[in-house]
Structure 1
Amino acid sequence: MLSLNGEHLYRLLLDLVSVPSVSFSREENRAAELIYGKLAELDYFRRNPSYLRYLPAEGDPLGRSAVAALVKVSPEMKRTVILTGHFDVVDAGAYGPLKHLAFSPEELTKRVGELDIPQEARADLASGEYLFGRGVSDMKSGLALEMGLLADVSRTCDFPANLLFLGVPDEENTSAGMRGAVPWLVKLREEWGIEYSAALNGEPSVGGREIPAGAVYVGTIGKIMPFFLCVGKEAHVGDYFDGVSASLLAANLSLVLEGAASTSEEREGRSFPPMACLRFRDLVKNYSVTLPERAVAYYNLLTVEKTPAGVLEEMKAAAREALKRTLGRISEQNGLIRSRGGIAPRAKSFTPRVMDFGELLAGAKKKTPGFDGLLDEFLRSLPPSLDERERGVETASYLLDLAGEKGPLVVTGFLPPYYPPRLNNGKTAGERAVLRAVCRLREDGKEDGLDISTVDVFHGIMDLSYFGFQGNPDDLDALGENMPLWGREYRFPLEDLKQLDVPVANFGPVGKDDHKNGERIHLPYFLSTLPRLFRNFAFYVAEEAGREEPST
Structure 2
Amino acid sequence: MLHCGKDVLNLTDKLVRIESVVNTKGEIDVANGLHQLISSFPYFQKYPKNLIKSRTENDEVERYNVMAFVKGTKEKSNKTVILMGHTDTVGMEDYGHLKDKACFPDKLMEALSNEDLPDLVKEHLNSGEWHFGRGVLDMKSGVASHLYLLKYYSDHPEELAGNLVLLAECDEEDSSHGVLSALTDLKRWKEEHTFEYLALINSDFVAPRFEGDTKRYIYKGTVGKLLPSFFITGIETHAGSCFEGLDPNYIAAELTRQISYNPELCDQSLGETPVPPVSLKQTDLKPTYTIQTALAAYVYYNFFIQSWSPKDVLVKLKEQAETAFDNALNNLKARHKRYCEISGHPYSELPWKTRVIVYEDMQKSLIKEHGEKFIEHMAAFKEKLLLDSTLDTRMFSARVVEEEWNWMADKSPAIILFYSSLYSPRIELTGKNQAEQNLLNALEEAIKVVQPHYPYPIVTRNYFPYVCDMSCVALSDDEEGVGAASVNNPSWGTKHYVNYQAIQEINVPTINIGPYGYDAHNRYERMELKYSTEMVPNITNEVICRLLGMDGKEISQTLSESTITKS
Q: TM-score normalized by structure 1?
A: 0.90
Higher alpha-carbon deviation: 159-168 or 75-84? 75-84
Preserved contact between residue 85 and residue 201 of structure 1 (Cα < 8 Å): yes
Q: Kindly provide the CA deviation profile for residues 497-544 of structure 1, in whole angstroms up to 9, marking residues without a partner as x.
A: 233322111113332222222222233444455443332232223339
- The match for 2:35 is 36
Measured in 1, the distance between the counterparts of 2:492 and 2:439 equals 34
Q: Quote how far apart the aligned CAs of 1:427 are.
A: 1.1
Measured in 1, the distance between the counterparts of 2:394 and 2:46 equals 46
- The match for 2:255 is 253
State the one-letter code of the partner of 2:64.
Answer: S
Q: How does 1:152-167 map to 2 (within 5 A)?
A: 152-157=152-157, 158-167=159-168
Local SS of the residue matching 1:62: coil
Q: Which of 380, 385, 388 matches 1:378?
A: 385
State the one-letter code of the partner of 2:548.
Answer: A
State the one-letter code of the partner of 1:90.
Answer: V
Measured in 2, the distance between the counterparts of 1:440 and 1:540 equals 8
Q: Quote how far apart the aligned CAs of 1:443 are.
A: 1.4
- The match for 2:483 is 477
Measured in 1, the distance between the counterparts of 2:339 and 2:61 equals 59
Q: Which of 314, 317, 320 matches 1:318?
A: 320
Local SS of the residue matching 1:84: strand
State the one-letter code of the partner of 1:376.
Answer: E
| CA RMSD, 1 decimal | 2.8
1:142/1:478 CA distance change after superposition, 3 Å: same
Measured in 1, the distance between the counterparts of 2:347 and 2:290 equals 22
Preserved contact between residue 85 and residue 202 of structure 1 (Cα < 8 Å): yes
- The match for 1:419 is 424
Q: Does 1:397 align with 2:402?
A: yes
Local SS of the residue matching 2:422: strand
Q: Quote how far apart the aligned CAs of 1:165 are.
A: 0.5
Higher alpha-carbon deviation: 157-166 or 320-329? 320-329
Q: Quote how far apart the aligned CAs of 1:217 are.
A: 1.4
Measured in 1, the distance between the counterparts of 2:504 and 2:321 equals 30
Measured in 2, the distance between the counterparts of 1:449 and 1:372 equals 59
State the one-letter code of the partner of 2:379.
Answer: D
1:333/1:527 CA distance change after superposition, 3 Å: closer
Q: Which of 431, 437, 444 matches 1:432?
A: 437
- The match for 1:20 is 19
Preserved contact between residue 330 and residue 347 of structure 1 (Cα < 8 Å): no
Measured in 2, the distance between the counterparts of 1:37 and 1:462 equals 26
- The match for 2:503 is 497
Q: Kindly provide the CA deviation profile for residues 424-476 of structure 1, in whole angstroms up to 9, marking residues without a partner as x.
A: 12212122112111221221123325432222222122111111110212210
Q: Does 1:521 align with 2:527?
A: yes
- The match for 1:550 is none
Q: Quote how far apart the aligned CAs of 1:207 are.
A: 7.4
Preserved contact between residue 272 and residue 462 of structure 2 (Cα < 8 Å): no
Preserved contact between residue 243 and residue 348 of structure 1 (Cα < 8 Å): no
Higher alpha-carbon deviation: 412-421 or 530-539? 530-539
Aligned residues: 540
- The match for 2:227 is 225
Measured in 2, the distance between the counterparts of 1:523 and 1:330 equals 57
Local SS of the residue matching 2:27: helix
Structure 2: 5+ residue stretches without partners: 551-567
Q: Quote how far apart the aligned CAs of 1:263 are.
A: 0.4
Q: Does 1:327 align with 2:329?
A: yes
Preserved contact between residue 515 and residue 532 of structure 2 (Cα < 8 Å): yes
Preserved contact between residue 337 and residue 347 of structure 2 (Cα < 8 Å): no
State the one-letter code of the partner of 1:281.
Answer: T
List 4+ stretches of structure 1 deviating above 6 A. 207-213
Q: Kindly provide the CA deviation profile for residues 222-259 of structure 1, in whole angstroms up to 9, marking residues without a partner as x.
A: 11110011112233445444432212221221232122
State the one-letter code of the partner of 1:175.
Answer: S
- The match for 1:84 is 84
1:275/1:343 CA distance change after superposition, 3 Å: same
- The match for 2:468 is 462
Measured in 1, the distance between the counterparts of 2:549 and 2:36 equals 30
Preserved contact between residue 86 and residue 139 of structure 2 (Cα < 8 Å): yes
Q: Which of 243, 246, 253 matches 1:244?
A: 246
Local SS of the residue matching 1:230: strand
Preserved contact between residue 247 and residue 292 of structure 1 (Cα < 8 Å): yes
- The match for 2:274 is 272
Q: How does 1:198-209 map to 2 (within 5 A)?
A: 198-206=199-207
Q: Kindly provide the CA deviation profile for residues 265-322 of structure 1, in whole angstroms up to 9, marking residues without a partner as x.
A: 2234433211211111211233333332211111111111111111111122222223
State the one-letter code of the partner of 1:313.
Answer: V
State the one-letter code of the partner of 1:470.
Answer: S
Measured in 2, the distance between the counterparts of 1:140 and 1:286 equals 43
Preserved contact between residue 4 and residue 145 of structure 1 (Cα < 8 Å): no
Preserved contact between residue 214 and residue 507 of structure 1 (Cα < 8 Å): no
Q: Kindly provide the CA deviation profile for residues 482-502 of structure 1, in whole angstroms up to 9, marking residues without a partner as x.
A: 112123222322221233322
Measured in 2, the distance between the counterparts of 1:113 and 1:417 equals 41
Preserved contact between residue 513 and residue 536 of structure 2 (Cα < 8 Å): no
- The match for 2:190 is 189
- The match for 2:10 is 11
Preserved contact between residue 87 and residue 169 of structure 1 (Cα < 8 Å): yes
Measured in 2, the distance between the counterparts of 1:40 and 1:23 equals 24
Q: Quote how far apart the aligned CAs of 1:351 are.
A: 4.8
Q: Which of 290, 293, 296 matches 2:295?
A: 293
Preserved contact between residue 450 and residue 538 of structure 2 (Cα < 8 Å): no
Higher alpha-carbon deviation: 535-544 or 419-428? 535-544
Q: TM-score normalized by structure 2?
A: 0.88
Higher alpha-carbon deviation: 314-323 or 221-230? 314-323
Q: Which of 493, 503, 510 matches 1:487?
A: 493
Q: Which of 433, 441, 444 matches 2:446?
A: 441
Q: Kindly provide the CA deviation profile for residues 200-225 of structure 1, in whole angstroms up to 9, marking residues without a partner as x.
A: 01223347999988432111111111
Local SS of the residue matching 2:549: helix
Q: How does 1:358-377 map to 2 (within 5 A)?
A: 358-362=360-364, 363=366, 366=371, 367-368=373-374, 369-377=376-384
Higher alpha-carbon deviation: 348-357 or 246-255? 348-357
- The match for 1:547 is none
Q: Quote how far apart the aligned CAs of 1:175 are.
A: 2.1
Preserved contact between residue 4 and residue 149 of structure 1 (Cα < 8 Å): no
Local SS of the residue matching 1:305: coil
Preserved contact between residue 89 and residue 138 of structure 2 (Cα < 8 Å): yes
Structure 1: 5+ residue stretches without partners: 545-552
Q: Does 1:308 align with 2:310?
A: yes
1:314/1:183 CA distance change after superposition, 3 Å: farther
Preserved contact between residue 337 and residue 344 of structure 1 (Cα < 8 Å): no
Measured in 2, the distance between the counterparts of 1:341 and 1:167 equals 67
- The match for 1:408 is 413
1:211/1:405 CA distance change after superposition, 3 Å: closer
1:188/1:214 CA distance change after superposition, 3 Å: same
Measured in 1, the distance between the counterparts of 2:394 and 2:452 equals 50
Local SS of the residue matching 2:173: coil
Measured in 1, the distance between the counterparts of 2:154 and 2:493 equals 38
Q: Kindly provide the CA deviation profile for residues 101-130 of structure 1, in whole angstroms up to 9, marking residues without a partner as x.
A: 111112222222123432222112222222
Measured in 2, the distance between the counterparts of 1:527 and 1:472 equals 38
